[in-house]
Chains A and B, each alone.
Chain A
Amino acid sequence: MKNKVIYCLLAIIMIATIILSGCAKETSTTTNTSAASSDAVAVSEWHIPFLIPLSGALAGRLEPNKWLVDRVASEINAAGGIMGKPVVIDYYDTALDPTKTVAAMGKAIDANSLCIIGPVVDQEVQAAMPLAVKAGMFCFSATGSEKNAQTFAPWELQATVRYEDESKYLPEIWVKQQPSIKSVAALVLPIYPLEVTMWEETAKNLQTLGVNTYPMIEVSYGLLDYSPLAIRAINTGANAFYISATEDIAAKIIKELYARGVDMKNVFLTGESVSTSAFLKQSEGCNEGVFSTTSPDYEPTAKFAAYNKAYKESHNDIGLNSMAFCHADMLLMIKNAIEATKVTGDPTKVKEERIKIKDYAYNQKGFNGIYYPKYDVINGIAYHLPQRLFQVQKGQLVLIKEVIPD
Chain B
Amino acid sequence: MGHFQFTFVIFSAIYILVAWAIYLMFRINQPYFGAQFSMCIGGYFAAYTSVVLNWPFWLILIAAMIFCAIISLILAFKLADLEAFPMFIASLALVLIVQTTTRNLGFLGGQYGLFGVADVSQGVLLGVTYGLLLIFGYCVYRIDHSYIGRAMDAVFFDRRTAASLGINVRKLSIQLQVLSSAIGGAAGVIYTFVIGGAFPQAFGMTLFLYSLTIIVCGGMYTMWGIIITAPVLWGVSQVLPKEMTGFTNIAYAVLLIVMLLVRPSGIIDRKLVKAITNGSKAFLQKFSRRQDRTIIKGG
Contacts and interface: CB of A to CB of B under 8 A. Distances in A.
Contact-residue size bin, chain A (C-beta under 8 Å from the other chain):
35 or more
Contacts of B9: 18-19, 21-22
Interface string A365-392: 0000000000000000000000000000
Contact of B126 (A19, A96, A123): A19
Contact of A18 (B199, B206, B231): B231
A14 interface: yes
Max chain A C-beta neighbours (<10 A), residue from B9, B206, B242: B206
Interface string B240-259: 00100111110000000000
A22 B1 contact: yes
Contacts of B195: 98-99, 102, 127, 130
A107 interface: yes
Interface in A38-76: 54-56, 59
A103 B115 contact: no
Interface string A87-107: 000111101111110110111
Contacts of A123: 113, 199, 201-202
Contacts of B111: 190, 192-193, 196
Closest 6 CB pairs of A and B: A55-B246, A106-B3, A193-B111, A130-B196, A106-B4, A93-B245
Contact of B4 (A23, A107, A147, A192): A107
Given A6-B280, A130-B196, A95 B245 contact: yes
A3 interface: yes
Contact of A126 (B113, B130, B249): B113
Contact of B5 (A21, A97, A102): A21
8 contacts: A7-B141, A11-B134, A18-B12, A22-B2, A22-B9, A55-B246, A106-B5, A126-B197
B110 interface: yes
Nearest to B234: A99
Contacts of A109: 3-4
Interface of B: 1-9, 11-12, 110-113, 115-116, 126, 130, 133-134, 137-138, 141, 145, 194-197, 199, 201-202, 206, 227, 231, 237-238, 242, 245-249, 277, 280-281, 284
B280 A98 contact: no
B6 A106 contact: yes
Contacts of B199: 98, 123, 126-127
Contacts of B145: 3
Contact of A15 (B130, B202, B248): B130
A282 B245 CA distance: 32
A406 interface: no
Interface of A: 2-3, 6-7, 11, 14-15, 18-19, 21-24, 26, 54-56, 59, 90-93, 95-100, 102-103, 105-107, 109-110, 122-123, 126-127, 129-131, 135, 147, 151, 190, 192-193, 196
A103 B130 CA distance: 19
Given A6-B280, A93-B246, A103 B112 contact: no
Given A23-B1, A193-B110, 17 more contacts: A15-B134, A19-B126, A26-B2, A95-B206, A98-B195, A99-B11, A99-B195, A100-B238, A102-B195, A106-B5, A107-B3, A122-B112, A123-B202, A127-B195, A129-B196, A151-B115, A192-B111
B56 to A, nearest CB: 19
B196 A127 contact: yes
A96 B227 CA distance: 26
B66 to A, nearest CB: 26
A22 B8 CA distance: 9
Contact of B246 (A6, A11, A54, A102): A54
B201 A98 contact: yes
A356 B237 CA distance: 34
A95 B197 contact: no
Contacts of A55: 245-249
Given A98-B195, A126-B197, A11 B137 contact: yes
A177 B201 CA distance: 39
A120 to B, nearest CB: 14
B188 to A, nearest CB: 13
B192 to A, nearest CB: 11
Nearest to A57: B201
A135 B6 CA distance: 14
A95 B7 contact: no
A151 B199 CA distance: 16
A103 B141 contact: no
Contacts of B6: 22, 106
B201 A54 contact: no
B254 to A, nearest CB: 15
A106 to B, nearest CB: 3
Contacts of A131: 3, 196
